[in-house]
Amino acid sequence: MKNLPLIILVLVVVGAIGLLAISKSGNPSLANGGAVVSGILPGSLTISPASFEFGDISMARGKVKTIFALKNVSSSSIEISSIVTSCMCTEASLLLGNERLGPFGMPGHGIAPRVNRSIAPGEEASIEAVFDPAAHGPAGVGNIERVVSVETASGVLEARISATVTP
C-alpha cells in the first residue's frame, strides 16, 4: 500500500500520454486501422487537387476559401461518413448535387455531425475549405498548413491547404 500513490501517478501519466497521442493524430479512423492518403483512395475516391497553396494572405482581409473536387472512380457507391479539419481555424463543407452539408470542423470543438452521404459510381462532389487567418490572432502569423480529412469505409482521404499569413 505504500506504493499506491506512485502507481496512481504512473497510471495517470500513461493515460495522459495515450490521450495526447490520439488527439495529435486528429483522425479517429486511424484507431480503426484506416489508411490515410492524399489524392486518391485506390480504386474508390479521388480528390483534386490534393493540396492548394493560397500564397500570402492577410489577416485583415478575412477568410479565404478553395474548392476540392471529389470523384467516385469505383463501380459501387461510396459513403462518406465524416469530414473533419485539423484546426478550428478551418471549416469544410460537402457540396453534393443541390445539397450543402456542413460546415464541418475540428473534432472536439463543438458538435461534430456525421456526413453519412453516398456518392454513386462516377458521381462528382466538392469540398469547400474555408480558412480564417485571424482565428489565432497575432500568434497565427507565418506559414500554416491545414488538412481536410474525408473518411470512408476504405480509409481517409486528405486535402491540404497552406498559406503564409501576414498581419
In a domain, 97, yes or no: yes
Q: Count of CB atoms within 10 A of residue 112's CB?
A: 14
The predicted model gives 74-90 an average pLDDT of 94
Position 117 pLDDT exceeds 90: yes
Q: What is the total count of domains within the chain?
A: 1
pLDDT at 66: 98
In a domain, 15, yes or no: no
Tell the residue number behind the cell numbers 502569423, with chain if given.
141
Tell the residue number behind the cell numbers 484506416, with chain if given.
34
In a domain, 1, yes or no: no
| Cα–Cα distance, 41 to 60 (Å, whole number) | 37
Q: Where are any strands of DSSP class E within the chain?
A: 35-38, 40-41, 45-48, 51-58, 64-72, 78-85, 90-96, 99-104, 117-119, 124-131, 142-152, 155-166
Amino acid letter, 127: I
* pLDDT single digits (tens) 7-63: 444 444 444 444 333 333 443 333 333 444 556 665 689 999 999 999 999 999 999
* pLDDT single digits (tens) 118-164: 999 999 999 999 999 999 988 899 999 999 999 998 899 999 999 99
In a domain, 146, yes or no: yes
Q: Which domain holds residue 98?
A: 34-166
In a domain, 41, yes or no: yes
Alpha helices in the chain (DSSP H): 4-25
Q: At 130, list the grid cell.
A: 474555408
pLDDT at 20: 37
pLDDT at 3: 56
In a domain, 20, yes or no: no
Q: At 148, list the grid cell.
A: 481536410
In a domain, 38, yes or no: yes
Residue 40, domain CATH: 2.60.40.10
- Ordered DSSP codes for 10-45: HHHHHHHHHHHHHHHH--GGGGGT-EEEESEETTTE
